[in-house]
């Protein structure tokens, strides 16, 4: 049981967090949270809806009036205290994450630190929101530019990174002087509530950070997007849902930032360091059981090294150990739901029906209904669904290319443009291909590209806006021009 493993039971919350209070549904309605590794219920959480969302928005607006004028250094200190508490409670936060999401405990520990890094970074950036003095247009005027917080922010986050996807939205919002209403995924609400508990413990005022938990995502999202008090929507999730939220937000002309679907290619050229390329592709493909938005969705290998890559890559994949994430022996956990497993099965079957061959894996594992075997597919072609659709699972489809031009064309043949990777020792090719790839982020001889200090985000239908870095703060600020006359 999760409760028996935690050092601090107060981090395990089962209610929404609105205006500094833990809120349950007035009729006692709850929803179940499952541990996908064992298929058991680990918590019953308050099932809130549109009414509670409106309450949270009103609380956030009231808190905004004081939070926005709080000195930046004071906001920074509160965020820094929140960061310290997250680090102090790393093990409990990691356990909560592994129990509700399924990833192995080492990955959960890493995510807690990664998520905390955004709080630390934006705590520092809160003190560096600078304006400008512009050149005079006439002798008797002065032109100034200041930056002010957008206002109340509505945030909707996914289940695959239930800690970090929250902190990289909440931290910049609070640093900028905004207040926020968060709707976490119903599959993984416990991590969000634990973060809210620590934020409250850090002294962040009531109403500044609110969490609405519930299964009626449509109703909660509709309130966030239609309410004119909410000035910005930030979302991480599917492109389909992102488009809907943008459409709904357009009616009140809200600012939006969207981190949507991906179809990341890994281009491995014949001059690559194959040892590094194999290790990089393994990390990019199989981290979190393949459930990441910047996952290696297509591995494109030059024909002259194709067979060697397949052989060595498959051998490394055979070393993975499926199991419950809390076990130190497990190197890969389950998928999030049975529906997710069924989606992976469908994509693999489609590829096989069109000539793909299984090098390893290819089916549901013996560990349980939520587990899918680490899989490598070869002899892929671009008519298969795996060439076009994002697979959120441990399936590595390997495609063959002959020329650099062909590789770039294959990589860009998608409506998505979040992340891409390539391996080569040719510095001329690095520039040519790096500039030609239609992606917001390109890893060159590296797949571990994310950190709090870089601008994370995509182009095309992978979204808009950036998270992390100095650019990530801009999405929560408005620019105001002041013209001083009669000087």
Q: Which residues are the active-site residues?
A: 259
Which residues, 6 or more positions from 51, have their beta carbon under 8 angstroms from its beta carbon?
Answer: none
DSSP states of 264-332: EEEEE-TTS-HHHHHHHHHHHHHGGGG--TT-EEEEEEEGGGHHHHHHHHHHHHTT--B--TTSTT-SB
Tokens of 274: 């194959």
Contact 237, 187 (CB under 8 A): no
What does the DSSP 8-state code read for residue 467?
A: B
| Cα gap 419→433, rounded to integer Å | 13
| Cα gap 211→190, rounded to integer Å | 11
Contact 295, 285 (CB under 8 A): yes
Q: What angle do CA 213, 215, 219 make, to 5 degrees?
A: 90
Coil, helix or strand at residue 339? helix
Contact 335, 295 (CB under 8 A): no
DSSP states of 102-155: ---HHHHHHHHHHHHHHHHHHHHHGGG---EEEPPSSTT-EEEEEEEE--EEEE
Largest Cα separation within the chain, whole Å, is: 79
| Cα gap 332→347, rounded to integer Å | 20
Q: Which helix (H) or strand (E) holds 389?
A: none
Burial grade of 24 (CB within 10 A; 0-12, 13-18, 19 or more): middle
Contact 313, 375 (CB under 8 A): no
Q: What angle do CA 32, 37, 38 make, to 5 degrees?
A: 70
């Amino acid at each position: 049981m999760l409760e028996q493993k935690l050092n601090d039971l107060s981090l395990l919350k089962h209610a929404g967090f609105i205006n500094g209070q833990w809120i349950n549904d007035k009729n006692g309605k709850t929803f179940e949270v499952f541990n996908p590794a064992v298929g058991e219920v680990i918590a019953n959480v308050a099932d809130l809806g549109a009414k509670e969302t409106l309450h949270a928005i009103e609380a956030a607006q009231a808190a905004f009036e004081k939070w926005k004028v709080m000195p930046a250094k004071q906001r920074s200190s509160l965020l820094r205290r929140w960061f310290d508490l997250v680090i102090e409670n790393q093990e409990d936060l990691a356990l909560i994450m592994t129990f509700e999401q399924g990833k192995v405990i080492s990955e959960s520990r890493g995510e807690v630190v990664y998520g905390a890094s955004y709080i630390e970074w934006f705590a520092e950036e809160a003190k560096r929101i600078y304006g400008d003095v512009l050149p005079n247009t006439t002798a008797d005027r002065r032109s100034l530019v200041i930056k002010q917080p957008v206002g109340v922010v509505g945030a909707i986050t996914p289940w695959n990174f239930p800690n970090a996807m929250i902190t990289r939205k909440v931290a910049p919002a609070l640093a900028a002087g905004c207040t926020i209403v968060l709707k976490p995924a119903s599959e993984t609400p416990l991590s969000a509530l634990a973060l809210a508990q620590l934020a409250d413990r850090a002294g962040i005022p009531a109403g500044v950070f609110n969490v609405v938990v519930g299964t009626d995502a449509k109703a909660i999202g509709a309130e966030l997007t239609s309410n004119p008090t909410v000035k910005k929507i930030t979302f991480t999730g599917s492109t389909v849902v992102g488009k809907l939220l943008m459409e709904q937000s357009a009616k009140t002309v809200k600012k939006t930032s969207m981190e949507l679907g991906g179809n990341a290619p890994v281009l491995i050229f014949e001059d690559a360091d194959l040892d590094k390329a194999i290790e990089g592709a393994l990390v990019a493909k199989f981290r979190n059981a393949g459930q990441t938005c910047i996952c290696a969705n297509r591995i494109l290998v030059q024909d002259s090294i194709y067979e060697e890559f397949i052989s060595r890559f498959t051998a490394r994949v055979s070393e993975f150990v499926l199991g419950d994430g809390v076990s130190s022996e497990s190197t890969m956990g389950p998928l999030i739901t049975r529906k997710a497993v069924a989606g992976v099965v469908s994509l693999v079957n489609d590829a096989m029906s069109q000539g793909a061959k299984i090098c390893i894996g290819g089916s549901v594992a013996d560990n349980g209904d939520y587990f899918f075997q680490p899989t490598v597919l070869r002899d892929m072609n671009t008519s298969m669904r795996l060439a076009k659709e994002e697979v959120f699972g441990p399936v590595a489809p390997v495609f063959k290319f002959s020329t650099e031009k062909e590789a770039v064309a294959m990589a860009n043949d998608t409506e998505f443009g979040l992340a891409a990777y390539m391996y080569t020792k040719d510095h001329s090719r690095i520039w040519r291909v790096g500039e030609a790839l239609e992606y917001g982020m390109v890893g060159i001889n590296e797949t571990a590209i994310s950190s709090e200090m870089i601008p994370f985000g995509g182009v095309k239908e992978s979204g808009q806006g950036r998270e992390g870095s100095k650019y990530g703060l801009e999405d929560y600020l408005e620019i105001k021009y002041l013209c001083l006359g009669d000087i």
